[in-house]
Structure 1
Amino acid sequence: MQAHDLHTGMDVCVKIIKNNKDFFDQSLDEIKLLKYINKHDPADKYHILHLYDYFYYREHLLIVCELLKENMYEFHKFNRESGGEVYFTMPRLQSITIQCLEALQFLHGLGLIHCDLKPENILVKSYSRCEVKVIDLGSSCFETDHLCSYVQSRSYRAPEVILRLAYDKKIDTWSLGCILGELCTGNVSAMHPYMLVTLDMRAIL
């Protein structure tokens, strides 16, 4: 939800968390991670969502962060269907790639795995300057944590996760590769659905 901060004069985004224990706990974890990340990136150089504040109101947790624009999925779909000028040219794709790699390098340097990188979690900061930011660290974890076996959205899920093998920060790089393939070709997954089903069946067996 877009809001206007009367103290700073800035437009901000307010995320209202459902009054549900699971959502509440996940959001508290995300707040802790964002505070930790923002502390290590005071100049806001590494293309990660910037947290401003959080508070409770009528039994709901509200998270205040910077206001961004469309996510990559929505914007890419609109750009293709509108029939207008193609936005995702090679120079812009290269710029998006560099920014995402810098974000991942920064996160990985802090020992974090994003665990849910997908087009919906990369938002546009500026269309004209082709600036993006990585959001949604609700599923993120430290490499030293007890790693959950069920992570990543299916179309961007690394083979080792599908096969329920040990994984590390490289799963984020796999997801980014799938995203870039999708932005280049318009195809949702870099891996054929049959291969995904086959890997899922192997994991079950």
Structure 2
Amino acid sequence: MASDVGRYEESSIIGNGSYGTVYKARDKVKGELVALKKIKIPQGEEGVPMSTLREVALLKYLSNFDHPHVVKLLDVCHGQKIQSERVSLLYLVFEYVEQDLAVYMEKCPPPGLPITKVKSIMYQLLDGIDFLHTNRLFHRDLKPQNVLIDHQGHVKIADFGLTRIFDMQSVLTQVVVTLWYRAPEILMSSKYTSAVDIWSCGCIFAEMIRNRPLFAGHTETDQLCKIFEITGTPSLGEWPEDISIPIGAFPRFAGSQLRKLLEAELDSFGLALIEEMLLFIPENRILAKDALVHPYFSDIAKSPSQVDR
């Protein structure tokens, strides 16, 4: 049963995202800090749509596993209806983590994150993604702002599943969506799978290495051009058949420049891994479960969720 939102005392705004406003708050019953996400759900004829409630129930169910690298949904609270907007307020209460990866990278003094820290963050991120994919969930909007990290370096994925909830309800916001971590198939409105998350992980991996985004486009077309400039323009045989945009609309770029950009900071195993993450054809990208046993991570101590692999 959902709690009364009055149980949580808001103290400050953490951020405004595409899914609503997030507040730092205190659980007055347990005395613990929480992250309180206030979101607007379009009303159906009987209030909050059943599809949304099912998705929230799934998120709550997955939180029972207490995975170390996925932020835990602690509570769900129903708020009031706003009849003028035909929406209902829904509050999702998550465990509180001090900062996201974007802030963490900004705070890191030059020349940036040490390679040992990059490797640790990537391993934890992939471990969380593997858990989501094993449970048939994929993120679709993975970026540094959705990767939380505490002062001990523990990583937790946030906002998983929420894309699906809001896509079903066609919620529109004024928030500008960052394209930099989106897979080509999403940018081209083609069919996609969990491989989109692996692409995003590759982009985050490269950004931690370079201390700046790998593909910083301004529009979908510009983003694709930025990708092809570094990875090489796909061949006609690789071009998806289910999209309207022709391959001829893009310049012809030579083979991948990725290795040249990163070879000064990454060893051969790291270069091989990131290349497998950033393959144009989704089916060819490495799976999260396979990335976790990649030679690049051979010196990483296994996390609790990996001991039985």
User: Which amino acid in 2 is paired with 1:55?
Assistant: C
Residue-pair matches, total: 185
User: Which amino acid in 1 is paired with 2:61?
Assistant: Y
Unaligned runs of 5+ in 1: none
RMSD (Å) for aligned C-alpha atoms: 3.2
Closer, same or farther: CA 181–13 of 1 in aligned 2, 3 Å = same
Alignment-derived partner of residue 133 in structure 1:
156
Closer, same or farther: CA 73–99 of 1 in aligned 2, 3 Å = same
Q: 1:120 aligns with which of 145, 151, 154?
A: 145
Residue 69 (str. 1) matches residue 98 (str. 2) = yes
Give the secondary structure class of the aligned counterpart of 2:180: helix
User: Which amino acid in 2 is paired with 1:177?
Assistant: G
Alignment-derived partner of residue 10 in structure 1:
32
The structure with the largest helix share of the pair is 1
Q: Max radius of gyration: which structure?
A: 2
User: Which amino acid in 2 is paired with 1:66?
Assistant: E
Unaligned runs of 5+ in 2: 1-22, 82-88, 171-176, 229-242, 247-309
Give the secondary structure class of the aligned counterpart of 2:214: coil
Distance 2:136 2:99 in 1: 28
User: Which amino acid in 1 is paired with 2:32?
Assistant: M
Residues 41-72 of structure 1, C-alpha deviation per residue, up to 9 Å, x if partnerless?
1xx23411101111123433222110111111
Distance 1:2 1:175 in 2: 27
Q: Which has the higher contact order (CA 8 A, sep 6+)?
A: 1
8 A contact 2:215–2:226 mirrored in 1: no
8 A contact 1:99–1:132 mirrored in 2: yes
User: Which amino acid in 2 is paired with 1:132?
Assistant: V
Q: Summarize the alignment of residues 184-199 of structure 1 with structure 2, pairs less than 5 Å apart.
A: 184-190=209-215, 194=222, 196-197=224-225
Distance 1:96 1:37 in 2: 22
Residues 82-124 of structure 1, C-alpha deviation per residue, up to 9 Å, x if partnerless?
xx47662111111111111111111111111111111110011
Closer, same or farther: CA 52–94 of 1 in aligned 2, 3 Å = same
Q: TM-score, normalised by structure 2?
A: 0.52
Residue 37 (str. 1) matches residue 59 (str. 2) = no
Distance 1:95 1:198 in 2: 28
Closer, same or farther: CA 170–8 of 1 in aligned 2, 3 Å = same
Q: 1:204 aligns with which of 245, 268, 276?
A: 245
Question: Structure 1 vs Structure 2: percent identity of aligned residues?
Answer: 29
